[in-house]
Every structure is written in C-alpha cells, then in structure tokens.
Amino acid sequence: MNVSAWSIKNPLPACMLFVLLTLMGLYAFHSMRIQNFPDIDLPTVVVTTVLEGATPSQLENDVARKIEDNLATVQGIDHVFSTLQDGVATITAQFELEKPIQEAVDEVRSSVASVRNELPANTQEPIVTKLDLAEQPILAFTVSSTRRDETDLSWLVDNTIARKLLTVSGVGKVSRVGGRDRQVRVDVDPVLLQGLGATVADVSRQLKSVQQEQSGGKAELGLQKQPIRTLGAVKSAAQLEDLRIPLANGKAITLGEVATVRDSFADPVTAAFLDGKPVVAFEVARSRGAGEVDVGRGVMQALDQIKSQYPDLTFKTAFDMVEPVQDEYDGAMHMLYEGALLAVFAVWLFLRDVRATLVSAVALPLSIIPAFVGMYFLGFTINGVTLLALSLVVGILVDDAIVEVENIVRHLQSGKSPYRAAMEAADEIGLAVVATTFTLIAVFLPTAFMSGIAGKFFKQFGWTAAIAVFASLVVARMLTPMMCAYILKPSKKAPKDPGWMTFYLKWVDRSLHHRWITVLIAGLFFIGSIVVIPLLPTGFMPADDMSQTQVYVEMQPGTPLTETEKTAERARRLIMENPSVQSVYTSIGGGAAGGDPFAGGQTQEERKATLTVLLKPRAERPVKQEIEADIRQRLQVIPGVRLKVGLGGSGEKYMLVLSSEQPDVLMQTALAVGRELRTIAGIGNISSSASLVRPEIEVHPRFEDAAQLGVTSAAMADTLRVATAGDFEVSLSKLNLDQRQIPIVVALEKWAIQDLDFIENLRVPGANGPVPLSSVADVRLGGGPAVINRYDRARNITFEIELSGVALGDIVKQVKRLSSMKTLPASVSVIDIGDAEVMEELFESFGLAIIIGIVCIYIVLVLLFKQFLQPLTILAALPLSLGGAFIGLLLAHKSFSMPSLIGLIMLMGIATKNSILLVEYAILAIKEKGMTRLEALRDACHKRARPILMTTLAMGAGMMPLAVGWGTADPAFRSPMAIAVLGGLITSTFLSLLIIPAVFLIVDDVSAFFRRHTGKLFNDPE
C-alpha cells in the first residue's frame, strides 16, 4: 500500500496519529531521569576481608592467596585484582561481560564460604558485593556550626543529617569525612599495672565481662513468667573509675587505681578543610537507577529543611557532579534547538518559500518527540549517550522531509496542483527515501550490539539514533506529503535552474566522458586519506574541560595526620595562586568524591590527601589541561611527596602494569622502567604503586625461651595489640546511651608506646604468670611494604601516567620503545588495563560495527533495487568521506578517538544517502522513461543535486553548534565527532556528485558483461 497516497487522501487519521505520538513523547520525556551516563551492569564482584592489625604481607599469605586460588576455579572469571593494606584485603573478581551479575555474586560468595575455615580465626566475615558504579559520590558538603563543637557536629551528621538525606528518593549512601568520633578512653598506667602482675589485655577483657547487660533466663513469680536481666552496665564515664574488676591472678582492682578514664574522642584518622579552615564534611552518593539532577534537587531541599530546624548550621558545597550533568543536559538541549533552527534556515535559503520551509521544520520535533516513546519503553534515560545520539541525528531528521518537499515543489513548478504534485512526487521519491532511512538504521543499529564495556554504553546510543531516524521516515512518508498537499500554494513561477547548475552539469559531462580518469582521481584521494591516518594522534577519550579537578598528595608511609595536614595546606596555598582557581576542598584519610570507580580496593590512609579544586566558569579561564599543567609546576617545590593532578577519568591517564611472581625481580624492573618513563617529554606526573617501605617494629619470638615460660606467639601479638591500639572493635566494652553506644578503649598511656625500651618490657601472659616481652622475644626496628597489589595471583606494580593533553596512543608507542621495556626479564610481563585496554577493544568493536553496517547497507540496497552490482555504486561513496574527516581532525588538532569513530559511522549513512538519491533516479529514468544511460545520469544530477546540497547544508548546520562548542556544555567529546562529520560531509558531497555517476557507468558495464556471459545459466522468469 502507498502510505503517502493514503495519508493525503485521509489527512485526519495521520494528524491524529502524530498528535497521539507527540503527547506520548512529551509524557515519556518528562518521565525519564536525567543522568550523566546510563547505569550499566558490569559483572565485577568485590570481596572485602578485614583482619584488624594485620600487615599487607600477612594478609597476602593468610587471606589473599587462599581466596584467589579458590576464585580461580569459578567459571567465567576474567581477571582477579587484589589490594592489601593494613587490616583490609580487597579482592576484585572481574568476569566476562556475558556473565549475569547475580550469578557471579552467588558463585563468588559460595567460593569464599568454602575457604572461610582456612582464614585466621580473628578474620571478620568476608563481605561480597557487586561493583556498583552508581555508588560514587556526586555531592560533597561541608557543615559548620556557631555553637557545636567538632564531636557534636560529627554526631549530628551521622545521626540527623544522614538519616534525613537517606529519606530523599534516589540517595543511596551518606558518608562523613573529617570530624571526631566520641570514645571513652581508659589510659592505663603501665608501671602500676606491672606492679599488679597484670596485662592491659586482662583489664580490657575483664572490663567487658563486668560492664555489660545480659539476659539471665526466666522465673515464675506470682503465677507469671518474668525474664531475668543482669544490668551490669554503667551510665557514664565517671562511674567507670569506681568500677571494681577482678584480674586473672585473683586480685581485684578499682579501674581508677590503675588508669585515667576520660569521656573524650578517638584519635582522628580523617580530616576535612575548606579553603584552609577545618570543617566536618559529608558525601552523598545516588542509588542505582536514580538521576543525578533529581537527587541533587532533593538533597538541596532536604538541607534547607535541616537548616530551618538547626539555624546554627551552615552548609557549603565542596564537590558537585550534579551541576556538570545539568550543564550537559541544558547545553545539549540548546544545541538541539540551535541545530534545528540552522537546518530549517538552510532549507529556506534554497526554497525561499515560507510554507515549504514550515512543512520541513515540522519534521524535526515530530521525529524527535516520538523517539522518546521508544526510549521510555526500552528503559533508557536522558543521559550523555542518548543526548549525543539525538544531537548527531538532528540534521539528518529533516533530510527525508527536505527531499520530499523539494521534489513536490519541483512538481508544483511544472504547473501541477499541490494535491497532484504531492501524490506524484511522493510516489516518485518513495523508494529513495525508504532506502536512505534504512541504510542509516543499518549503520546506527550495529553499535547497539558492540562487545566490551563500550558496547554496554553504546546500546542506548544505537537504539536512540535508529528510533529517531525511523520516526523521521514515518513523518516523511505520512505527514510531509499530506501537509504539502493541503498547505502549499500552486507555483506561478516557471522552473528555473540556479546559476551554479550549469557549471555543475558541465563538470558532470566531463566526468562521464572521462569516467576512468575520474575513478582514478577518487582512488588517489582515498589513498591520500589513508596516508593521513598515521599523522593523527590516537586516544580513547578526549580529556574533559569541566570546571573542577583534583590533586592527590601521598606522603611517606607512617606519616601522622598532622604532618599530612601541613603538607596539604601548603599544596592548597600554591594551588590558590593560580588565578583560575576559586576554592579548594581538602579531605585527608577519607572521602571518595571524584575517585575512579574502577580503582577498587584503595582504602584511605592518614598519609593521603585529596584536594578538590573548583575552577572558574569555562568562559573565564583557559582549558583545564593548561591549569593542571600550571598546578603541577607549582607543586614541584614540595619535597618528599607523590602527586597526581586531575580527576583521573578517561582521557587523562595511561596505566602501565608490570606483573611477576618474583617480587624482587619485579621491584628492580619497575625501578628501571620508572626512571625511563620520566624521560618522556610532554607527560604529567608519574605515580607508581611500587610500595614504599615503611618503618615497622618487628617482634621475633625466641621459641625455646617462649616454650619454657609457656608464652605463645599469639599471646605476644594479643598483648601488644591491646596495649598499643586497643582490642578488636567487637571485643570492646560499650557505654550505652539513649541513641548509641560509645566504645570504651583500654590501652597504655601515650608516653609508654613512644619508648621502644618500654615496649620490650611489656608483660605477656605465661604459664607461671606474666613475663617481660624481652625475655621471650627480640624487639627491633625493621620495614615492610605499605601496600601490596596483586593481579591474577601474582604481584604487580602499576604506573599511572598523567597524559597532560598528549594522546594516549602516542604515549603507548613511546613506552613500548623504551629500552627497559624491550629487555624485560622473562618472569615479568606487561598487562594492558585501563584506557589502553578499552581503547584497543573499542577500535576492534567499532571496526566490526562498521563492517556489519556496510554489509547491512548492501543487503538493504539489494533488496530495494533488486540488483547485486548497482548497490556497489552507492557504497563507492564511503571512501570519499574518509579524507575530509581525517583532514578536518588534523586541522583542528583533534585525536582519532571514540567520538571520531562515532562521526565516521554517521558519515557512512550520510555518504550513502546522497548516492542513493542519484542512483535511484538514474535507474528509474532508464527503466520508466526510456532514457539512455548518459541522459538518465545527467537528468539525475540535474534533478537531485539541489536536494543533496540542501540536506548537506542542513546536516552541516545541525552539526555546527557541536563543532564550535556553543553553550555551557563541555565540548571536549562532541567537538571531535562533529568536526569529523563536517569534514567528511564536505568531501563526500562534492566528490560523490561528480564521481558516483562515473562509477555508475563502470558498474553498469560490468553488470552488462555478466548478464551476457552468465545469462544462459539461469531460466527466464515466466
């Protein structure tokens, strides 16, 4: 059935259909969440195991290796990463992408449970969770008060603010940074304790036994069952001093006799500062499925309510990932409007008819709005990927309508009525419009099925673009002809060729008469395009230009919090000297805002600080990479620290990983590679995970002496741990208050643990009573690794190289040329992880998607034209678009990366579109009008040149806002893509207008040759 003819004869159903689709689309649009990126499920499972007080080396031997070996038997495991730090082992199991995430979690949990009995007895129950990218903080705030101290403010954040924010829809987690935790400290005098012949562990354990509440069974009194409770808990810290506790040697003491009891706070391990002033901060993370913009709005409303309830509080934003998402959304929407207006203006330039331009303009909103219906039912969100797809196709969506309108106007100018012109022109152009649309769908849809992590993200891209393009076909075949039939006026002007048409047709005649020379020139142009490729820098993602960045400061192992604070403040003052910096938020020992969600396992330490730097708006400063380079230069004066500058996102770093089962060889190799890496020009800071050796106090038991005195190694470790740091959290006595429990920590007084001689004389329990530690062990200073990293059950060292604006592919090539990399020991291997691995995977996936797209285009064209060879004429336009794209990237100094590849995919559809318009009309003229080949081709060029130029100009105008980077949105990603499209659009349009007719003749000659020589092999159809 001819849909266009039916729509013209029955205008009301077509109008009502689009009214319905528009209303549904507007509802779907307002119902969809706004996100930065779509939520994706990566089959990655994290096992967190806590063994308080254990060193990284101990965790490697006692925990990590056992769990890793067991995980190796789980089906579908791709890689296993382990990070071992004081007391915490984090093991990340990365599965093949096809593995269902819940199945992966269940299998890892079963594997860990099977090895649980082999882990040390004091190990806490391992926690198995899936990696959720949505758990990264999107907001960080600082809070200050005019009448609350730091301890009360910390409790207010933990109890009141966190609970209020967790009621906000979409908030998944609230975590505090800085502040102080209330704690009852029992500082034992070691001299008095030694006189009693007791240990700190005795006092701690006995205190817990005495100071607690427990049930005591049931009794029957007065014909009623009544529970029995033992209420042995004190109500305040002051009451603890008078508490009498029995010791293991039979003596009893009052706690105040041997210790000082204080209701105080725990030693701080985290700190937060805003512009150098100490603050209490908290971070907010969204839950999976929630949109950043909605969460941000809800959080701000909740904070306003809290502030009205507590007028003494002042909140300030320290880190904000909601504003960039809102800016991206607003910028993308503005670019859609600007691109649409420019495309419509391009139509008016050619037609100079307000009514015809209006008909074309209606196609844009009526193609985009119904696309939201499909996106809504597929569960998509409004995010950077879907907005990118819509921004890309905004120029294409009007193309089908332009072709229809231009053809109808041409028929009008021949003296036909609008009704008849619409009927005949729509029927004439129908096949070309359907062919062009389905070739575009064949180009975009394969990207939705790409493999790898890139495929997870581009599922929404491919489907969104395909749905919008299909909607434009429905508009062009149903609404546009119908509107033309009833809105356009009969033309009183005789058809007149524009001035350029005569010049163009002369060149067409030359190319047809010298077809082989024309094709040779096209071949040389294609070869020249290939030659340009090595000149382009290659990368994965362009570095962003957001108005915030971060500086990571890492001190020597063992550095106390106070020293880290001093260094971080010095770094902050140096950073503030840059005129583009507005404010700096510093978090020490805690906080994850702006961190890399894929860099799991990195627990915070007192020696590490993160400075979040808020920059001025993009219009008031240079690009972020220049500011970061200036910051690096300024921070070089700080000695003895490791520095990283940048948010660490895609396009900002290169990860080089060396792995070996021989730690000594690995360390020597890493040192050599690290020295040569620093000779590469143009890169930023280089940080290495090669663990710095930290000072340790080592206790070496003398087993013969220990056995004679009945002292075990476990007793020594237990006594030392309780005396210096307090008992395990689960073993501590608690002070019960109305709303919480305060831990009671029993430990030696501070001065005692600062003297090595005193530590040597600590009493440890033996068979015949406590004995000095020095009588059963040697105590001396030593060293050990602060962090141990493992990859696939072997030690590894990772170099994180800041790209500082240099293309990732160029850095990879330079690293491979280093002499130390060429002469690696046999036991050391290089592993590709991070952007380098994803970049290689991305190029392979896009290459496959392009090949599949070309095959699909060919199949579609064969089915529509019912010929095998002439579709090759249309495909000949593809190579002609590459040169312009590569030259455009080269002139604009853009890298060949993910956005460039997206642009190339789009170019495939555009180039074939123009060729289809020419070839389809030529075939039609030969078959139905009886023209010769040359007459048909000349007539096709005459009739189709104007719509081709109109669609090219419309698409170019739609791309212009993206290429120039108008608006508030970050242009770093969209600009290379638009430049590639614009460059390829220019060359493919002008070259195909001349070269495709020549190729048509050659292909037709070949087709005739095959028909003559193979016709006898097939029967004639009856």
* 896, pLDDT greater than 60: yes
- Token couple for 946: 């104007």
Mind listing the pLDDT tens digit for each residue in 209-234?
777 777 777 887 777 788 887 777 77
Q: Going along 292-419, which residue ranges are E strands?
A: 313-320
Residue 931 and residue 230: Cα distance in Å, rounded? Answer: 107
Q: What is the mean pLDDT of residues 136-157?
A: 86
* pLDDT recorded at residue 600: 47
Question: By CB neighbour count within 10 A (0-12 exposed, 13-18 middle, 19+ buried), where does 1010 fall?
Answer: exposed
764: pLDDT strictly greater than 60: yes
Q: Give the C-alpha separation, 998 to 985, whole Å.
A: 20
Name beta bridge partners: 660.
Answer: 795
Instruction: Kindly tell me if the per-residue pLDDT of 331 is higher than 60.
Output: yes
pLDDT-derived band at 377 (thresholds 50, 70, 90) equals: very high
Q: pLDDT at position 967, please?
A: 63
User: Which of 508-517, 740-749, 1007-1016 has the weakest average pLDDT?
Assistant: 1007-1016
pLDDT at 233: 77
Indicate the burial class of 650 (C-beta count within 10 angstroms; 0-12, 13-18, 19 or more).
buried
DSSP 533-557: GGGS-B-SSPPP--SEEEEEEE--T
Assess contact for 165 and 174: CB atoms under 8 A.
Answer: yes
Expressed in angstroms, the distance from the first to the final Cα of the chain is 25
**Mean pLDDT in residue range 792-801:** 81
For the cut 60, the answer to whether the pLDDT of residue 1016 exceeds it is no
For the whole model, what pTM was predicted? Answer: 0.78
For residues 613 and 763, the answer to whether their CB atoms sit within 8 Å is no
Q: CA nearest 741: which of 726, 724, 729, 749?
A: 729
**pLDDT tops 50 at residue 255:** yes
Cα three-residue angle 116-134-840, rounded to 5 degrees: 90
Residue 1000 belongs to what H/E stretch?
helix 974-1014
Comparison of pLDDT for 648 and 99, the residue scoring more: 99
Q: Which two tokens stand for residue 430?
A: 């129908």
Over residues 342-359, the pLDDT tens digits come to 777 877 887 778 888 888
Q: Which helix (H) or strand (E) holds 575?
A: helix 561-576
Please give the share of the chain, as a percent, with pLDDT higher than 70: 94
Indicate whether 691 pLDDT > 80. Answer: no
Length of the chain: 1022
- The per-residue pLDDT of the chain, averaged, comes to 82
pLDDT of 596 reads 56
Which helix (H) or strand (E) segment is 997 a member of? helix 974-1014
* Alpha carbons 1014 and 1009: distance in angstroms, whole number: 9
Percent of the chain past pLDDT 90, that is, above it, reads 6
